[in-house]
A and B are shown apart, each in its own frame.
Chain A
């Protein structure tokens, strides 16, 4: 097994990641995010973005349709609850399976083209899925209302084991541990850690190297004897499975699946999370997801009253102006903030936050070393 041991810096990274995730309730408490509902979202969207990053970050294929896989994951999980059992494990298996299958079908066609054609095709397929979920597929998706649990659901496996939930709608539970509150968060957290670990292995594997090659130079790849499409398709399917898992977890923590989860805005959001943190970096997507979900939570809760308090120190007219400008960006206007953030990141910081931190570190380093050295380590940038 000696030849499979990970190197030191990766082990430290993994260890630190595990610690942060496990102690997140304590670590995030000072910024008011130490409660399970929000932490759960960090973890779930972190998984979603980690998967997206395996596709976009490594291969450079920009998909605008990943929300479709998230939605499929949610629907599969809720159906599994309805038909089989309230246990989250089979629900997750189905969510990953269907996310992957769906990705295989869409990827097979979309990957016939590269570049912008690919982006457009994935966007079109996601819109198509969304339209279908709202119209013909209503028997499966329950249209606008969203797919919900009902007391009359068969829940075959639960029945077999003689579990009866009585008159109340049950939450999902893992052999008796209800998937709500902190147990819900830790369930998601463990999966996030597993997903992060797998993504780390992929990044460091020959397969991951091939995916990077795909982004770097497809012509050379082909003349090096590598078949491009199965590589791109595998990355697409893997990211679809991650998305399915994330969708399944959304359903587990809140057993409801709606079509709005598949809308293009949701696809755009995961793109933003990934590039905000840093596409192609290991930690970036998780950081990006946390960042976005944290500020979404804060900004959406803002209203004019709170804004007035915030700008209380200003003279009246200035305060009114500030309030009316900033009220555009909060509450219902959160999407505007997202859009603006999108533009700012792409324009000024294409490498994302990770890149920003590196830049600051380099310039600070230069300051201390009197401008000497370029701060480039001879190592091949292990943080990548």
Chain B
């Protein structure tokens, strides 16, 4: 029982990332009718917002202290990050919380990126065949990740969670199991709560604002909404920007869990697409439910007990489920008829 609980917990953070990316993909599919193969790259760019922010914070002031000597008899260099030099202890705290603080940077950056992408590229593809949309966004994804690689190199860059969230939370005792049987890193739990909050915010935004109503109406019947004389174009831009922000935030907060590298976007993109397919193209709740479910199932599959029976199952479980779902329910768990079908 406690082992099962632990696996469920383990799957939640990954599931959260899948759900957030898949949510953005679905919104873009539904409203703009565009298949965005660059969405994983947005997730990756979000993660690198955190990397860049950290790099910015750790820019160091180098001074030479003539009173101290190194072992080689030269004056010792003292390296102090500017933030610490300027703000003292507060600066150190800033550094410690660099990952969550990057959100403040990531929101405007991702919004801007999303808007530029939509205005500069995507909008010219609304009326082009899906194959062309896939190809051009695929090309864009490669370009984005290669640019990141040329700036940040090919190696994963570890980013620690804040000191306070580095610890483990012991659910074992609290839930009546043995102490230490269900131990879970605090940051991962935080990530899960964070993703829930974002999902909730996005759904609430779509549900309760008039803007969101138009977007949902657009997802149901794009042409009619266009005929109502509503300025669809501007809304499309905002929707795309919003989806970019969601993906970006998912990426920022994921950095302490997985050290970001330039090709993480594609890995997550493929899985997120599978999530969308399983959840049902065009269904927001489907994307969220499928995201978490697949995350949890994947974590179960990576248990040693399971791997002993089905070697390699952790690598392919998501795909197997996708295949099964498609064979039984071709439209996905919550898919509607006629969405993204010719």
Contacts and interface: CB of A to CB of B under 8 A. Distances in A.
Report if A and B touch in the complex (beta carbons < 8 A): yes
A116 B340 contact: yes
A132 to B, nearest CB: 6
Given A62-B131, A115-B130, A115-B341, A135 B146 contact: no
Contact of B135 (A123, A125, A275): A275
Interface stretch (B137-145, B184-192, B222-230): B137-145
A135 B315 contact: yes
Contacts of A347: 121, 124, 136
B161 interface: no
A204 interface: no
Interface in B305-342: 311-312, 315-316, 319, 322-323, 326-327, 330, 340-342
B151 to A, nearest CB: 10
Contacts of B312: 132, 135-137
Interface string A337-355: 0111111001100100000
A295 to B, nearest CB: 15
A116 B134 contact: yes
Interface stretch (B67-75, B200-208, B273-281): B273-281
- Chain B CB within 10 Å — which of A109, A114, A218 has the most? A109
A116 B315 CA distance: 23
Contacts of B150: 328, 332-333, 336
A336 B323 CA distance: 33
B98 to A, nearest CB: 27
Contact of B273 (A109, A123, A137, A328): A123
A128 interface: yes
Contacts of B273: 120, 123-124
Nearest to A114: B342
Nearest to B270: A127
B326 A121 contact: yes
Nearest to B147: A336
A115 B129 CA distance: 10
Nearest to B150: A328
A128 B319 contact: yes
Contact of B277 (A121, A132, A265, A332): A121
A124 B270 contact: yes
A244 interface: no
A119 B140 contact: no
A218 B342 CA distance: 9
A52 to B, nearest CB: 13
Contact of B330 (A113, A119, A127, A343): A113
A268 B145 CA distance: 14
A280 to B, nearest CB: 12
A109 B323 contact: yes
A340 B277 contact: no
Nearest to A219: B342
A291 interface: no
Contacts of B316: 128, 131-132
A62 B319 contact: no
Contact of B319 (A117, A124, A137): A124
Nearest to A343: B139
A26 to B, nearest CB: 35
Interface residues of B, number: 41
A328 B136 CA distance: 20
B266 interface: yes
Contacts of B342: 114-115, 218
B17 interface: no
B301 to A, nearest CB: 12
Contacts of A268: 138, 142
B33 to A, nearest CB: 10
A60 B128 CA distance: 14
Given A132-B315, A218-B342, A340-B143, A116 B35 contact: yes
B35 A339 contact: no
Interface string A252-272: 000000000000110010010
A60 B131 contact: yes
Contact of B139 (A120, A128, A339): A339
A240 B232 CA distance: 42
A337 to B, nearest CB: 9
Interface string B273-310: 11011000100000000000000000000000000000
A123 B273 CA distance: 10
B132 interface: yes
Contact of B326 (A62, A109, A275): A109
A148 interface: no
A366 interface: no
Given A124-B322, A339-B139, A339-B142, A131 B315 contact: yes
B113 to A, nearest CB: 16
Contacts of B326: 109, 112-113, 117, 121
A335 interface: yes
Nearest to B35: A116
For B140, B141, B312, the residue with the greatest tally of chain A CB atoms inside 10 Å of its CB is B312
Contacts of B267: 127
Given A109-B326, A328-B150, A62 B134 contact: yes
Given A124-B319, A137-B312, A339-B146, A264 B131 contact: no
Scoring A60, A127, A328 by chain B CB atoms within 10 A of each residue's CB, the highest score goes to A127
Contact of B143 (A125, A127, A339): A339
Contacts of B149: 332
A113 B274 CA distance: 13
Interface string A120-150: 1101110110011001110000000000000
A336 B136 contact: no
A211 to B, nearest CB: 15
Given A115-B130, A125-B319, A335-B146, A342 B277 contact: no
Contacts of B147: 328, 336
A350 B146 CA distance: 23
A37 to B, nearest CB: 26
A64 B269 CA distance: 13
Contacts of B281: 117
Nearest first, the 3 closest Cβ-Cβ pairs linking A and B are: A136-B312, A339-B142, A342-B139
21 contacts: A64-B138, A112-B326, A113-B326, A114-B341, A116-B134, A117-B277, A119-B35, A121-B277, A121-B322, A121-B326, A123-B273, A125-B319, A128-B319, A275-B135, A333-B146, A335-B146, A342-B136, A342-B142, A343-B140, A346-B135, A347-B121
Given A117-B277, A124-B270, A343-B143, 9 more contacts: A62-B134, A62-B135, A115-B342, A116-B35, A119-B134, A132-B315, A264-B266, A336-B147, A341-B139
